[in-house]
């Protein structure tokens, strides 16, 4: 009988030991935060800032907290690495007021006390904003919902080429659509698109009017919540002389 028990234990014990070895360590944290822009207009002379909650991550095993001894955050868009700040066995990326362009996806890597490296993904959401490549005359309508930006009136000569900019920025990347005088702008021989910009190739009377580009993205306001749409309007009046 004792020999039989010994044989059984020889088979059973390795199973328990193997199960113990493969128990996963989970990286936890605030999986997503939202950047709240101070305005919706930026250019090289006016950096557009947002208030952004700090990112943090830590480690768990079977639901129990594990201390980490080091951690860092990598911005996936450009590979830039930010060392984290340790506090109570977790690691933090302190952001606060920052350029809206820090929004995007990040990878957090932590090293637990057993010298093992574990990683998880985080995201900073950003509703649509306008970040112009050069200084422009635009203004934002106070307290408008959705946010609404108005450009200065533009005049063009018959037959000349005009580019209407719509430098939408956000995370996720906003979808952009164009309307003219309240109607969706389709395709024609005399217009073309360059990314989000609209090009009027040869100005004619039919091109005069109010143009609107709308930036649209959506994301949840809390983890596992429904996606909420976010929009931004940018209006431009065009006259042909």
Domain spans of the chain, in order of start: 25-128, 129-240
Domain spanning 25-128: which CATH class is it, in words? mainly beta
Note the Cα 27 to chain centre separation in Å. 21
The verdict on whether omega for the bond into residue 90 sits within 30 degrees of 0, i.e. cis, is no
Domain 25-128 and domain 129-240 have a common topology: yes
Ordered alpha helix ranges (H), 42-159: none
Measure the CA–CA gap between 41 and 128, rounded to whole angstroms: 10
176 to 173, 209, 223, 230: CA distances (angstroms)? 9, 19, 26, 12
Q: Residue 219 is encoded by which pair of tokens?
A: 């994301």
Indicate the range of 6-10, 119-123, 158-162, 168-172 predicted with least confidence.
Answer: 6-10
Amino acid 6: pLDDT: 32
Measure the CA–CA gap between 194 and 225, rounded to whole angstroms: 35
- In this prediction, residues 213-219 reach a mean pLDDT of 97
* Residue count (the chain): 241
Note the Cα 55 to chain centre separation in Å. 14
- Predicted TM-score (pTM) of this structure: 0.85
Residue 21: is its pLDDT beyond 80? no
Amino acid 161: pLDDT: 95
3-state secondary structure of 226: coil
Measure the CA–CA gap between 206 and 163, rounded to whole angstroms: 16
- In this prediction, residues 190-212 reach a mean pLDDT of 94
CATH number of the structural domain 129-240: 2.60.40.10
Work out the mean pLDDT of the chain and round it to a whole number.
90
Amino acid 3: pLDDT: 40
Measure the CA–CA gap between 166 and 188, rounded to whole angstroms: 19
Measure the CA–CA gap between 116 and 25, rounded to whole angstroms: 10
């Amino acid at each position: 009988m004792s020999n039989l028990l010994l044989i059984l234990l020889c088979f059973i014990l390795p199973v328990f030991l193997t199960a113990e070895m493969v128990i996963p360590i989970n990286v936890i944290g605030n999986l997503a935060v939202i950047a709240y822009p101070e305005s919706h207009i930026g250019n090289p002379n006016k950096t557009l800032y947002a208030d952004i909650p700090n990112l943090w991550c830590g480690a768990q095993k079977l639901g129990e907290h594990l201390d980490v001894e080091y951690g860092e955050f990598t911005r996936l868009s450009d590979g830039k690495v930010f060392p984290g700040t340790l506090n109570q066995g977790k690691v933090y990326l302190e952001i606060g007021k920052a350029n809206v362009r820090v929004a995007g996806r990040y990878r957090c890597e932590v090293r637990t006390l057993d010298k093992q490296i574990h990683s998880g993904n985080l995201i900073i959401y950003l509703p649509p904003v306008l970040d112009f490549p050069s200084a422009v005359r635009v203004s934002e309508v106070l307290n408008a919902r959705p946010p609404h930006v108005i450009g200065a009136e533009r005049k063009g000569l018959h037959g000349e080429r005009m580019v209407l900019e719509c430098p939408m920025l956000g995370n996720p990347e906003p979808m952009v659509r164009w309307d003219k005088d309240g109607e969706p702008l389709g395709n024609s021989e005399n217009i073309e698109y360059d990314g989000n910009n609209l090009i009027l190739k040869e100005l004619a009377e039919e091109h005069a009017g109010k143009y609107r580009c709308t930036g649209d993205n959506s994301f949840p306001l809390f983890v596992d919540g429904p996606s909420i749409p976010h929009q931004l309007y940018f209006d431009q009046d065009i006259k042909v002389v």
